[in-house]
Amino acid sequence: MLTDEPGQDAYKASNPGISAASPRRTGGDLVQLISPEGERISHPEFDLWVSDVTDEQLCSLYEDMVVIRRIDAEATALQRQGELALWPPLLGQEASQIGSGRALRDDDFVFPSYRDNGVAYCRGVEPTDLVRAWRGNASSGWDPYRHNIATQQIIIGSQSLHATGYAMGIQHDGADSVAVALFGDGATSEGDVNEAMVFAASFQVPVVFICQNNHWAISEPVRIQSHIQIADRASGFGIPSMRVDGNDVLAVLAVTRIALDRARKGGGPTFIEAVTYRMGPHTTADDPTRYRDANELEDWAAKDPIARLKALLRTKGLLTEEVEAKTQAKADEVARSLRSGVINMPDPAPLDLFKHVYSTPNSWIERQKDHYSRYLESFSGSTRKVHSDEQVDFRPRHQRRPAQVPRKRSQSCPHG
Task: Tell me which residues are annotated as active site.
Answer: 278, 282, 291
Backbone angles phi, psi at 16, to 5 degrees: -60, -25
Q: For residue 217, give the H/E element and its range.
A: strand 216-217
Which has the closest alpha carbon to 338: 141, 94, 144?
A: 141
Q: What is the CA radius of gyration of the chain?
A: 25
Which has the closest alpha carbon to 95: 241, 309, 255, 302?
A: 309
Which has the closest alpha carbon to 5: 182, 178, 239, 247?
A: 178
Which has the closest alpha carbon to 102: 2, 178, 247?
A: 2
Q: 338: left (phi > 0), else alpha (psi -120 to 50), else beta?
A: alpha
Rounded CA-CA distance 102/253 in Å is 7
Q: Which amino acid is at 376?
A: L
Taking CA atoms, 255 is separated from 56, 230, 272, 291, 313, in Å, by 21, 16, 8, 32, 21
Taking CA atoms, 359 is separated from 93, 141, 355, in Å, by 35, 17, 9
**8-state DSSP, 352:** G
C-alpha 396: how far from chain center: 41
Residues 350/378, Cβ–Cβ less than 8 Å: no
